[in-house]
Chain A
Amino acid sequence: MSATTSSRHPEDALGHPAEVDVSPGAADRAVRAQPRMIRLRGVSAEDVLVPAAAAVAALALVWYPYENVLPFSGALGFWVCWYIAFLVLYCAVTALRAGRRAMVDRGVAAATATAGIFALAVILEQVGYVALRGWAAVKHLNFFTQTMVAAGPLQPLTVGGIVHALVGSLEQLGLATAFSVPLGITAALFLAEIGGPRAQPVRVIVTAMTALPEIVAGLFIYTMVIITLGLHACGFAASLALTVMMLPIVTRGAEVILRLVPNNLREASYALGANHARTTWYVVLPTARAGLTTVSILGMARAVGETAPLLFTAGFTNEMNANPFSGPQSGLPILIWDFIRKNPTQTMIERGFGAGLALMVMVLVLFSAARLLGGKAPGEMTRRQRRRLARDAALAPARAERPPAEQGAPWQGAGL
Chain B
Amino acid sequence: MTGDGRSVSSAPDSPTMVRVLDRPRPIKAPSSPGDKVFHGVLNAGGFLVLVLTGLIAFFLVLKAAGVLHQIGWRFLTNFGWILSENNIGVGAVLIDGTIIAVIALAIAIPVALALAIFISEYAPAGLRRVMIALLDLMAAIPSILYGLWGFFFLMPRVIGIGRWISDHLGFVPFLKVPYTTFIPGQFENSTLLAAAVVSLMIIPIVASISRQVFSQAPVNEREAAYALGSTRWGMIRTVVLPYGRGGAIGAAMLGFGRAMGETVVIAIIISPVFTVVTRIPQSGGNSIAALIANFASESSPEMLSALIAAGLVLFVLTLIVNALAGIIVARSRSGLQDTD
User: B148 to A340, Cβ gap below 8 A?
Assistant: yes
Q: Which residue of B lies closest to A109 (CB)?
A: B122
The CA-CA distance from A115 to B107 in the complex, in Å, is: 12
Q: Is B168 an interface residue (CB 8 A)?
A: yes
Q: Given that A220-B59, A413-B212 are known contacts, is A352 also in contact with B49, CB under 8 Å in the complex? A: no
User: A193 to B144, Cβ gap below 8 A?
Assistant: no
Q: Classify the interface of chain A: helix, strand, loop or mixed.
A: helix
Q: Is B330 an interface residue (CB 8 A)?
A: yes
The CA-CA distance from A301 to B152 in the complex, in Å, is: 24
Most chain B CB neighbours (cut-off 10 Å) among A126, A224, A409:
A126
Inside 8 A of B148's CB, which chain A residues have their CB?
130, 133, 336, 340, 352-353, 356
Nearest-Cβ distance from residue B279 to partner chain A, whole angstroms = 20
Q: Which of B139, B141, B149 contacts A415 (CB 8 A)?
A: B139
Q: Is A305 an interface residue (CB 8 A)?
A: yes
Interface residues of B in 107-159 (CB under 8 A from A): 111-112, 114-115, 117-119, 121-124, 128-129, 131-146, 148-149, 151-153, 157
Q: Which of B32, B50, B115, B322 contacts A211 (CB 8 A)?
A: B322
B-side residues, CB < 8 A to A, are 31-32, 34-35, 37-39, 41-50, 52-53, 55-56, 59-60, 62-63, 111-112, 114-115, 117-119, 121-124, 128-129, 131-146, 148-149, 151-153, 157, 160-161, 164, 167-168, 200, 203-205, 207-209, 211-212, 215, 226, 229-234, 236, 254, 257-258, 260-264, 268, 289, 292-293, 296, 307-308, 311, 314-315, 318-319, 322-323, 325-327, 329-330, 337-340
Interface residues of A in 227-274 (CB under 8 A from B): 227-228, 244, 247-248, 251-252, 255-256, 259
Inside 8 A of B31's CB, which chain A residues have their CB?
275-276
The CA-CA distance from A286 to B52 in the complex, in Å, is: 28
Inside 8 A of A9's CB, which chain B residues have their CB?
232
Q: Classify the interface of chain B: helix, strand, loop or mixed.
A: helix
User: B160 to A73, Cβ gap below 8 A?
Assistant: yes
User: A126 to B152, Cβ gap below 8 A?
Assistant: no
User: B63 to A223, Cβ gap below 8 A?
Assistant: yes
Nearest-Cβ distance from residue B165 to partner chain A, whole angstroms = 11
Nearest-Cβ distance from residue A307 to partner chain B, whole angstroms = 5
Q: Which residue of B lies closest to A208 (CB)?
A: B322
User: A359 to B137, Cβ gap below 8 A?
Assistant: no
User: B326 to A204, Cβ gap below 8 A?
Assistant: yes
User: A360 to B327, Cβ gap below 8 A?
Assistant: no
Most chain A CB neighbours (cut-off 10 Å) among B112, B148, B292:
B148
Q: Is A71 an interface residue (CB 8 A)?
A: yes
> 9 extra interchain contacts, Cβ-Cβ under 8 A, other than A104-B233, A216-B60, A276-B35?
A73-B160, A109-B232, A113-B122, A116-B118, A208-B326, A212-B318, A220-B60, A298-B136, A307-B264
Nearest-Cβ distance from residue B240 to partner chain A, whole angstroms = 12
The CA-CA distance from A299 to B56 in the complex, in Å, is: 21
Chain A 82-126: CB-based contact to B (< 8 A → 1; otherwise 0):
000000000000000000011011001101111110111011011
Chain A 168-196: CB-based contact to B (< 8 A → 1; otherwise 0):
00000000000000010011011101110
User: A190 to B43, Cβ gap below 8 A?
Assistant: yes
The CA-CA distance from A209 to B215 in the complex, in Å, is: 25
Q: What 6 A-B pairs have minimum CB-CB distances, sorted nearest first?
A: A305-B142, A213-B261, A186-B45, A190-B46, A413-B208, A207-B326
The CA-CA distance from A189 to B35 in the complex, in Å, is: 13
Inside 8 A of A276's CB, which chain B residues have their CB?
31, 35, 38-39
Q: Given that A11-B226, A72-B164, A208-B322 are known contacts, is A336 also in contact with B129, CB under 8 Å in the complex? A: no
Inside 8 A of A340's CB, which chain B residues have their CB?
148, 151, 268
User: A275 to B142, Cβ gap below 8 A?
Assistant: no
